[in-house]
């Protein structure tokens, strides 16, 4: 049996027993009336979390499959797209755009600040024929949350569709797909949705459907083409709503998790994320870590911080992994040597995971020669209850 670590990384996250149990359910077919009921309920629950009336699909694969489906489905080879870049995952969007042979225009910004609105607005007012804006909601390496609502507003104003990588935000950070005019929103099951890896979830707006209909096939294949997904949903919706075999157990697990999130209430759920984040960030600060990005612009799902006294991040990571069975990660490539990054989503948001993390960090610092009073890391723990 391999060692079981507490996953204080930005995904995959630990899942509740209730969710995990579904992965062990007997294998059953991905068609028939019972399946259609499960399928429809899960899609409806997703619609509530995406806050959309648009179409939602569950694709077998990781989050990137959803991004691929959106980009490949909406855009034709050679079309121009705008990619505002303030982090590693936006760079990745650029790579995906290149792989689809799009005419990808980069606007590069400070990776420690949210995307600024003015230069994007200026670009859209100057350039014509932009097929889409591609952007990341939450840059997972730094923990920056980008102003998605405001960029959605620009997309509306300039009539340019917006495709969003929300892989590390949806479920943990409020994201209003319809209100913010997001045309394709892609995420994964294994982070803010608190379910096992294996599914990409995407929403598609009416505007995106109109564009796809007007363009016809974009020449990017069959498996991930939203048109094919819709065709089968319409044609076979009452017995076999997809053109490929869906991972039924993953979907059962996702349904169990979505039911839990919605039973808590979306607002309450986001509030809990913020509280836990505050407890973690306060603990970090009181131990002498310096948050990589200002708390006001940083995410409630991830904390990235520079180590005190320039201690090598690797030493802290190794200590937690080897002495405490806790996995953490590093900051963005440029700061990797001296920054650590922890995720606090899913099961790992629980008090009985956060306290060992914070106390373990204290011990890791002591192990590196820093004299730090016991209990210092728990300075912000009251935020768990009081926010
Ligand atoms: C913002 C962001 N985009 C994309 C990805 C890639 O997602 P996946 O591994 O589910 O394809 C990640 C994974 O960490 C991410 O954080």
pLDDT of res. 128: 87
pLDDT in tens, 117-175: 999 999 999 998 999 999 999 999 999 999 999 999 999 999 999 999 999 999 999 99
pLDDT band at 13 (very low <50, low <70, confident <90, very high): very high
Cα distance between residue 364 and residue 358, in whole Å: 10
Cα distance between residue 65 and residue 203, in whole Å: 13
Q: What angle do CA 265, 270, 271 make, to 5 degrees?
A: 95
Output the ligand 1 site: residues, CB below 6 A: 11, 62-64, 89, 136, 140, 165, 167-168, 188
For ligand 1, mutation pick of 88, 99, 168 (most atoms within 8 Å of CB): 168
Sign of CA dihedral 365, 367, 369, 374: positive
pLDDT of res. 151: 98
In the chain, the DSSP E strands lie at 6-7, 55-60, 80-85, 103-108, 130-136, 138-139, 144-145, 162-165, 184-188, 199-204, 290-291, 302-306, 326-327, 329-330, 339-343
Distances (CA, A) of 157 to 117, 151, 246, 356: 13, 10, 38, 48
Q: How far is the CA of 13 from the centre of ligand 1 (A)?
A: 13
In 127-266, the DSSP E strands lie at 130-136, 138-139, 144-145, 162-165, 184-188, 199-204
Helix, strand, or coil here: 251?
A: helix
Q: Is pTM, for the whole model, over 0.95?
A: yes
pLDDT band at 386 (very low <50, low <70, confident <90, very high): confident
Q: How far is the CA of 48 from the centre of ligand 1 (A)?
A: 22
Q: Which tokens hold the place of 35?
A: 């399946």
Residue 387 has pLDDT above 80, yes or no: no
């Amino acid at each position: 049996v391999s060692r079981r670590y507490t996953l204080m990384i930005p995904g995959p996250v630990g899942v509740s027993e209730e969710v995990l149990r579904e992965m062990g359910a007997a294998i059953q077919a991905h068609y028939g009336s019972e399946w259609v009921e499960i399928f429809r309920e899960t899609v409806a629950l997703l619609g509530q979390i995406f806050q959309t009336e648009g179409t939602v699909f569950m694709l077998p694969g990781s989050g990137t499959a959803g991004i691929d489906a959106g980009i490949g489905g909406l855009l034709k080879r050679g079309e121009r797209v705008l990619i505002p870049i303030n982090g590693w995952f936006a760079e990745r969007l650029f790579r995906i755009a290149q792989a689809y042979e799009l005419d990808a225009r980069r606007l590069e910004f400070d990776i420690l600040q949210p995307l600024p609105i003015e230069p994007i607005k200026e670009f859209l007012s100057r350039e014509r024929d932009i097929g889409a804006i591609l952007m990341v909601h939450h840059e997972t390496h730094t923990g920056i949350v980008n102003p998605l609502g405001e960029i959605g507003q620009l997309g509306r104003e300039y009539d340019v569709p917006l495709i969003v990588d929300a892989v590390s935000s949806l479920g943990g950070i409020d994201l209003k797909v319809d209100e913010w005019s997001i045309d394709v929103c892609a995420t994964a099951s294994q982070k803010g949705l608190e379910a096992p890896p294996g599914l990409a979830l995407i929403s598609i707006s009416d505007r995106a459907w109109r564009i796809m209909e007007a363009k016809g096939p974009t020449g990017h294949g069959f498996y991930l083409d939203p048109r094919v997904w819709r065709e089968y949903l319409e044609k076979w919706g009452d017995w076999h709503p997809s053109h490929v075999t869906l991972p039924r157990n993953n979907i059962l697990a996702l349904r169990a998790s979505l039911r839990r999130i919605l039973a808590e209430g979306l607002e309450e759920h986001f509030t809990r994320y913020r509280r836990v984040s505050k407890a973690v960030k306060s603990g970090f600060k009181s131990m002498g870590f310096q948050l990589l990005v200002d708390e006001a612009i940083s995410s409630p799902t991830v904390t990235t911080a520079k180590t005190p006294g320039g201690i090598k991040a690797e030493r802290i990571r190794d200590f937690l992994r080897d002495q405490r069975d806790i996995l953490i990660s590093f900051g963005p490539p440029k700061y990797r040597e001296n920054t650590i990054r922890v995720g606090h989503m899913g099961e790992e948001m629980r008090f009985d995971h956060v306290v060992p993390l914070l106390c373990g960090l204290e011990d890791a610092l002591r192990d590196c020669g820093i004299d730090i009073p016991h209990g210092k890391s728990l300075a912000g723990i009251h935020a768990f209850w009081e926010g």
